[in-house]
Amino acid sequence: MHIGVLGATGPAGRGLAARLAAVGHEVVAGSRDPSRAEAVVGDLRDRWGDRVAGLTAGSNADAADAGVVVVATTWEGAVDTVAGFAPALAGKVVIAMANGLEKVGREFHPVLPGGRSLSEGMQAAAPEARVVAAFQHVPAAAFAALDQPIESDVVVCGDDDAARDVVLGLVAGIPVLRAFDGGSLVNAIGIEAFAATLLTCNLRHTGKGTLRLLGLEGRTS
Ligand SMILES: NC(=O)c1ccc[n+]([C@@H]2O[C@H](COP(=O)([O-])OP(=O)(O)OC[C@H]3O[C@@H](n4cnc5c(N)ncnc54)[C@H](OP(=O)(O)O)[C@@H]3O)[C@@H](O)[C@H]2O)c1
């Protein structure tokens, strides 16, 4: 696939961009400032060599031109970024990985602007895009460690059945992630909000736990 990543200069976006390139996709790492994307792609090439041969740098507009687009900006900037690229995103699978968070003492709380998920906010901002929520529970460090499989499950939610299927396949193509069909985009509120609970568990139990569903096989290819 030809995949663009908006905001690929942060830890999550650069890690996912590298991981997708490593499994054979053509990936454009985008930034509001293409020189920042160049620097990130240069670092990834130095670290991983031919494993990220399919990775190139560009602007966010270049990334939005790809066939499948991942929104990896800060959660605060995600909806406005999608709104700004709405014409380019029309008809495309748009992967929303944001989860709104605030730290309150020794815990994280979910932030759901207007009482809805950011994924739904992105869908409203680009009504002709096919927004699918995924990857909220995968730590950025796990994406970036290309020499290790990612031990996590990914729940995928979206209203467009074909778009959801594309993302389930994309997730399942990353060793050894398992992809689960979480239904419509309205259910993204659960996966976004659970990220705050998961991070609170990690804080209070001092670890890097992620999501695992027991009793289900999920999709792995
Ligand atoms: N970190 C994780 O472990 C993790 C895991 C799963 C999901 N997520 C989600 O993945 C997304 C990225 O996480 P991150 O930790 O990599 O984020 P980040 O480092 O805070 O930000 C990512 C990039 O967003 C761009 N950006 C900053 N402000 C912006 C704005 N107002 N509008 C548009 N772009 C802006 C910046 O890129 P440029 O300045 O180069 O444009 C920045 O490098 C977040 O939505 C987060 O909720 C994170």
pLDDT value of position 202: 95
Does 13 contact ligand 1 (Cβ within 6 A)?
yes
In a domain, 138, yes or no: yes
Checking if the pLDDT of 215 tops 90, the result is yes
In a domain, 220, yes or no: no
pLDDT value of position 194: 97
pLDDT value of position 73: 98
Report, as an integer, the average pLDDT of 112-128. 97
Does 36 contact ligand 1 (Cβ within 6 A)?
yes
Number of domains making up the chain: 1
User: Whole domain around residue 78: which residue ranges?
Assistant: 2-205
**Omega before residue 176 within 30° of 0, cis:** yes
Q: Determine the distance separating the centroid of ligand 1 and the alpha carbon of 138, expressed in angstroms.
A: 14
- pLDDT-derived band at 28 (thresholds 50, 70, 90) equals very high
pLDDT value of position 18: 98
| Residues above pLDDT 70, as percent of the chain | 100
In a domain, 179, yes or no: yes
Residue type, position 37, single letter: A
Checking if the pLDDT of 221 tops 90, the result is no
In CATH, what number is assigned to the domain containing residue 100? 3.40.50.720
- pLDDT per position as a tens digit, 54-109: 999 999 999 999 999 999 999 999 999 999 999 999 999 999 999 999 999 999 99
In a domain, 211, yes or no: no
Token pair for residue 121?
Answer: 């906010």
DSSP character at residue 49? G
In a domain, 53, yes or no: yes
Question: What are the b/e assignments for 109-134, b being 16+ CB within 10 Å?
Answer: bbebeeebbbbbbbbebbeebbbbbb
- pLDDT per position as a tens digit, 141-177: 999 999 999 989 999 999 999 999 999 999 999 999 9
What is the pTM (predicted TM-score) of this model?
A: 0.98
pLDDT value of position 55: 98
Does 35 contact ligand 1 (Cβ within 6 A)?
no
In a domain, 215, yes or no: no
In a domain, 146, yes or no: yes
User: Taking Cα atoms as reference points, which of 115, 210, 94, 111 lies closest to residue 158?
Assistant: 94
Residue type, position 141, single letter: A
CA 157 to chain centre: 12
What is the average pLDDT score of the chain?
97
Q: Determine the distance separating the centroid of ligand 1 and the alpha carbon of 84, expressed in angstroms.
A: 16
Ligand 1, residue 11: give the atom nearest the CA.
Answer: 16
Report, as an integer, the average pLDDT of 36-43. 98
Q: Determine the distance separating the centroid of ligand 1 and the alpha carbon of 215, expressed in angstroms.
A: 33
**In this structure, which residue's CA is closest to atom 42 in ligand 1?**
10
For the chain, helix (H) and strand (E) counts, in that order, are 9, 10
In a domain, 221, yes or no: no
Does 149 contact ligand 1 (Cβ within 6 A)?
no
Checking if the pLDDT of 42 tops 90, the result is yes
